[in-house]
Amino acid sequence: MKHCPIMVLGTGSGVGKSLVVAGLCRWASNLGLKVAPFKSQNMSNNAAVLPGGGEIGRAQWLQSKASRVTPRAEMNPILLKPLGEGRSQVIFLGQPLGVFGISEYKELKKELFPKVVMAFEALREAFDLVVLEGAGSPAEINLLDEDIANTRMGRAAGAKALLLGSIDQGGVYASLYGTWMLLPPKEREIIAWMGINRFRGDLSLLDSAHRELTRLTGVPVIGVLEHLGTLPLPDEDSFSTSKRGSEMAGSSHDSPIRVVVLEWPHLSNRSDMDPLLYHPGVSVRFCPLDGSLPEGADLVILPGTRQTVKDLEMFRESALFPWFMGYVREHGRVIGICGGYQMMASDILDPEKVESSRQWTPGLALLPFSVRFEKGKLSRQVSLMWQDGSGIGSAALSGKWLSGYEIRHGRNRLHSGSPLFSLRDESGEGLLGEGSMNASGRIFGAPVHGLFDNEPFRQFILNEWLNGNNPGGPDIESIQDEALDRLSVRVSKAFPIIGNVP
């Protein structure tokens, strides 16, 4: 049975649309519906790789997981990966179209929107229910004519929308009423409900405000979602990362293993660190380049970045750089992931100016390889196996295939030594070597995301390489699945809109 599409609009960014959509999707799945998420346009440097290749936003990947369905490119037709200075790489239906400035993309949207609607229609045909997510605010009146992510998309889908506001930021009723008032009458028509997110306290205190808001707008305030606290679910983008800044996460400060993650200005795929956040006996600190210096570290991670050269230059100019180089000289242990791994090369070559205007940039020269950026982008799921020829054997990793994914323009050439991993694509073919380790065995990296999702890799790092004594870590898949179930219960009680479309 086909259900009317449901849309979650927000009074602004960061009000909780993505998690509410995930909760609705899991609720629908628990009801026995075949459900799919949809967001016409997302802006994020946190992407997930689809089976068979291609990218979608990490939020839509999580929502597909909540729906218990395989993620598809149609779930997020347009993914904008910001590069700074008003430029973004445009990913359409999983594949890169190119880099566009603001005015160029404004024209491109006119061409893409009919195809976006077709992507939605493909999902509507294949699923019982599609739950749409808006982007930012639908009431940016200077952009209303060109907005393809909010009420225009909702009207094209024939959706009924929940307008969501967050009381955590303050001014939630002014935000809800102001958003509704600024929308032209035809755009307001899809708003069937209003809802409050992140409330703490006595719900009865809100009753009079809800009655007045309904009187003013004619739209019922259907419910209130109380503050969820910290859920073990991946962040959509750097918004929540920057809010946390250099806070400690995971275990307490005196944990035996202290992990420092360098928080690049263009940090990507922060979810690589999520399994460490929930691992017993591990503390994780994210250190912005302009933040306070770490007091100590057992491991420093150079994570992924969408702007390898720019972030490397900013790193070199920061107070964190001499601290890091001193840490390396004192035989500290370092892991580089994707863009962070590229920084560790001797040379970074970009003859076609794919990522920056500089055709050559000296790397940190921590590992014996060079990287060359090419226009062709690798976006694929991979399997990889630790090579004992790396110089460090591992009981935890021996003979085991790990899973991961690549999202990169860089091609790496090893100058000496043996590759750290044997790597193959989803077909099981194309075996090649990737990754490298320095002579001391204390510094290594690879251009692959998702390594810490593998329990054998975590055990190797924490117990063998760092000489820790950590028990087996949590099953991150099970933890996140349980969190989605808890989320769905809370969302279904707060916003009982599935099967309740007016």
Between the CA of residue 319 and those of 24, 294, 316, what are the distances in Å? 45, 11, 8
Task: Round to whole Å and give the CA distance between 310 and 287.
Answer: 17
Which residues are CB-contacts of 312 (< 8 A; sequence separation ≥ 6)?
A: 343, 348, 361, 363, 364
CA-based nearest residue to 301, from 324, 334, 323, 330 = 334
Which residues are CB-contacts of 39 (< 8 A; sequence separation ≥ 6)?
A: 57, 59, 60, 75, 76, 132, 133, 134, 135, 149
Q: In the annotation, is 449 catalytic?
A: yes
Which residues are CB-contacts of 52 (< 8 A; sequence separation ≥ 6)?
A: 426
Between the CA of residue 392 and those of 298, 301, 438, 448, what are the distances in Å? 18, 19, 11, 19
Which residues are CB-contacts of 489 (< 8 A; sequence separation ≥ 6)?
A: none
Tokens of 219: 């739209």
Which residues are CB-contacts of 65 (< 8 A; sequence separation ≥ 6)?
A: 71, 480, 481, 484
CA-based nearest residue to 79, from 113, 46, 111 = 46
| Cα 295 → chain centroid | 28
Residue type, 434: E
Beta strands 257-263; 282-288: pairing state: parallel
Which residues are CB-contacts of 285 (< 8 A; sequence separation ≥ 6)?
A: 246, 247, 248, 249, 258, 259, 260, 261, 294, 297
Task: Round to whole Å and give the CA distance between 7 and 17.
Answer: 10
Q: In the annotation, is 338 catalytic?
A: yes
Q: Which residues are catalytic?
A: 338, 449
